[in-house]
Structure formats: C-alpha cells, structure tokens
Amino acid sequence: MKVIIAGAGIGGLTLALMLERRGIACELYESVREIKPLGVGINLLPHAVNELEQLGMVDTLAQSAVATSALHYYNQYGQAIWQEARGLAAGYPVPQLSIHRGELQLLLADAVRARLGNGCLHTGMSFQSFSQDARGVTVNFLDRNADQVRQVRGDVLIGADGIHSALRRQFHPEADRLRFSGRMLWRATTEAPPYLDGKTMFMAGHQDQKFVCYPISEPLRRQGRSLINWIAELRVPEPDLPATDWNREVDASVFAARFSDWRWDWIDIPDIIRKAPAIYEFPLVDKDPLPKWTYGRATLLGDAAHPMYPIGSNGSAQAILDARCLADRLAEAQARTPTGIELALLEYEAERLPATAGIVLRNRLNGPEQVMQLAHERAPQGFHHIHDVIPDTELNGIAARYKRLAGFDPKALKKP
C-alpha cells in the first residue's frame, strides 16, 4: 500500500509517522517551497500528547515545550471564575504541552525525513485534482519549483491540506463556505517576566472581549523568563468575513485600547501587548460539518475535514486523533482484499466525523469557555465570589462535559 498525503501540516506529518510505524509507505506533498517555523503558539492536550508519545516524540518536544500545569478562567476584572490542574498535575499519564506551532511542525518534519527518508517529503507541490479507478488514485500536483503539473500514482489519497483544502472543495464545492463568527483575533508572542507559576494557561473576559495567555518556551522558562503566547479577541462591527490577508501584521492600536485597564496584581496585559515585536490578525472562522469525507480511495483529515474555532485547544489535537484512527484502519486493511482500503476509509469516517462535528458545534457555543460568558451575563459588574453567581456543580459539569466530548477525560485516557 502507498498513501499519498496532500499537506505537511501537523496532521499530515503525524499521519506519515504513524503509517511508518505500521509499515505503510507514504509520501507527503506540501504546497509551500520551504517549511519554516511560522505562526504562534499551540496547546497540545493530553490525548494528543498520548499519541505523540507512542511515536517517540514527547522527549524531543519537551525540550522546547512548557508542560502546562493549570488552566485558569477570569472575568474582565481579573476575578477568578474557574481553575483546574492540567497535564501531569491533573493525573494524566502524559503532560499537556504548550509550544510554538512552527517549532512543532519543524520537529515533526525532521522526524519524518529521518524515519521515512529525505525523498518522502516534497515541497512546492500544490494539489490540483485527482481521479481514481479500481486499482488506485492518480493525483495532479502543480510543481511550483518548475511551474508544471506532475502526476503521482498511489493507492490512497489523504487531504490534509488545511482550512482552505482544495480536495475538500473538489468533494463539496457547495459546502466550502467559511462561517465568520463576527469576532477577530490578534495573535503574538512577547518575552516577559513569568506570571503565576510560569506554566499556567489563562483566559479572561467573555465571548465578545477575551484575552488568552500561555508560555511556550521551556528553555526560556529555565532562565527565569517567559515567552508568552497571547491572543486578544474582540467582536467587530462588520457582519461579513474580512477580505484581507489572514496573516497580516497590524499595529496594536487596532485593538489595544479595549484592554488598556486590564492590569492585575499578577499580570499587566497592556504591557504584554505593547512589547510584542509583531502582531498578526485572523478572523475567527469555521465551516459547517460535512455529511461525508470519503469518496472511494480518498478522504479528508484535520482542518480539511473539520475546521473549528480555536476554543478548548482542540484543532490540532483532533487532527492527531484523526491520524491515529486512520493509520489503524489502513493497517487493518493491508490484510484484506483490494476493497479493504475503501472500507477502511469509511470506518475511519464513521468514527471520526461525528466526534469532530460535535466539537465544531460545541465550540460555537464557546465550549469550556462558557464559564466566562455565564459569569459575564450573570454578573457584568463583577462578583464577590464566583459561587455567588455560578454553583460549583455547574462549573464542574461544563468542564467535565467538554473533556468527555473532546476525548480527554482523565478517566478515559490511559497510558498504553
């Protein structure tokens, strides 16, 4: 069996490593000419780290990533709403890791080249179209280095080509519309003194005005400093999706005034914003869940299949879980008749499509961040104690439901 993977993001690279562990040949085709450490931070939840540990990647990642110790929620006045331990401190068998997204991608790409060979990862190759027959798939890529179309033959095609997936568009042109939430994100990293214990992730505010922070550099943490990944989020007046570059650099003056008084005794948010070397603007978008991902010998994975709001730190985690499920099903198919491949892809879809569709829809309701919205709605001027506003049982219930839905309930996650 030979698998063709369109896209060398986190999902595609993880799938390649998982296929290699199962003795399945694959090649990756990535549209960018060079994989660079782009982007900002990413938070890997324990169920995703559990899969990466099985690939022998956690020790490598832990040299760069901060092992997140806790998650805190606050209102816009810095009053505590909810706090819980995370990772090893919460009893998981593996840590929760916060790392620079580009650094994670490079480490995965290095592992792919080391284990599968340098020739398996092709860059500057943009997916154009594909066809299939009873014996396999023929995929057309535009070689951006030579400006010509190249054909590749394989047994399976996996579209791991992100939120703007060309394969998804070929499957579902009518269902490829982005849904804009009406909220804009500004993302950056700032080197600063550590806050709290130097390993805590926190969110403050409510649905229409929110600030998220977490440290992402373990080497800097050991030096007594912190590389803080942060996201400022605001509802914007324009009702339509902004037609701008989704990675454009903007000045802090676009949004910073709304956070000018967010200074508390343990953190100075205006100062963190002010000291960022570069700030990037993104619209908060997703897409409606699809009725199906699989057509014969081709299917979708990760953001190509289920783009979701970055709420609950689940986008990349779900791509990694997709990769594990798909690799397992394809490994089982090796022992079947030729129709085993198509059945394997359908089994993968049957398991992962409903699970991820539920997260997409729950994230539109703010996922576990509902606690901040409830606190804002019930006590817009603040509170003396959160239990005067939201009972502890309700807070616990919101957190527990999302963990079960997303697949990282501590009771269900066991170290293999």
pLDDT number for residue 243: 65
Q: How confident is the model at residue 90 (pLDDT cuts 50, 70, 90)?
A: very high
Question: Is a pLDDT exceeding 80 seen at residue 200?
Answer: yes
Rounded to whole angstroms, how far apart are CA atoms 7 and 380? 44
Structure confidence by residue, pLDDT tens digits, 233-245: 999 987 777 765 5
Structure confidence by residue, pLDDT tens digits, 242-289: 765 567 899 999 999 999 999 999 999 999 999 999 999 999 999 999
Residue found under tokens 């394969």: 167
pLDDT number for residue 312: 75
pLDDT number for residue 336: 72
What b-and-e string marks burial along 189-218, b requiring 16 or more CB atoms within 10 Å of the CB? Answer: bbebebbeebbbbbbbbbbebbbbbbbbbb
Rounded to whole angstroms, how far apart are CA atoms 96 and 85? 10
Nearest to 55 by CA among 104, 100, 99: 104
pLDDT number for residue 258: 97
Rounded to whole angstroms, how far apart are CA atoms 383 and 254? 30
Structure confidence by residue, pLDDT tens digits, 296-324: 999 999 999 999 998 877 888 999 999 99
Mean pLDDT of the chain: 93
Rounded to whole angstroms, how far apart are CA atoms 114 and 334? 24
Question: Is a pLDDT exceeding 60 seen at residue 415?
Answer: no
Question: Is a pLDDT exceeding 60 seen at residue 338?
Answer: no
DSSP secondary structure code for residue 354 in this structure? H
Percent of the chain residues topping a pLDDT of 70: 97
Q: β-strands 136-143, 148-154: how paired? A: antiparallel
Question: CA angle at residue 389 from 387 to 392, to 5 degrees?
Answer: 35
Percent of the chain residues topping a pLDDT of 90: 83
Taking residues 130-144, report their average pLDDT.
Answer: 95
pLDDT number for residue 16: 98
Question: Is a pLDDT exceeding 60 seen at residue 416?
Answer: no
Nearest to 278 by CA among 298, 249, 304: 249
pLDDT number for residue 39: 78
Question: Is a pLDDT exceeding 60 seen at residue 78?
Answer: yes
Structure confidence by residue, pLDDT tens digits, 91-109: 999 999 999 999 999 999 9
Structure confidence by residue, pLDDT tens digits, 60-74: 999 999 999 999 999
Q: Quick one: 148 exposed, middle or buried, by C-beta within 10 A (0-12, 13-18, 19+)?
A: exposed
> 287 near 307, Cβ under 8 Å?
yes
Structure confidence by residue, pLDDT tens digits, 23-51: 999 999 999 998 887 778 999 999 999 99
Q: How confident is the model at residue 197 (pLDDT cuts 50, 70, 90)?
A: very high
Question: Is a pLDDT exceeding 80 seen at residue 337?
Answer: no
> 158 near 3, Cβ under 8 Å?
yes
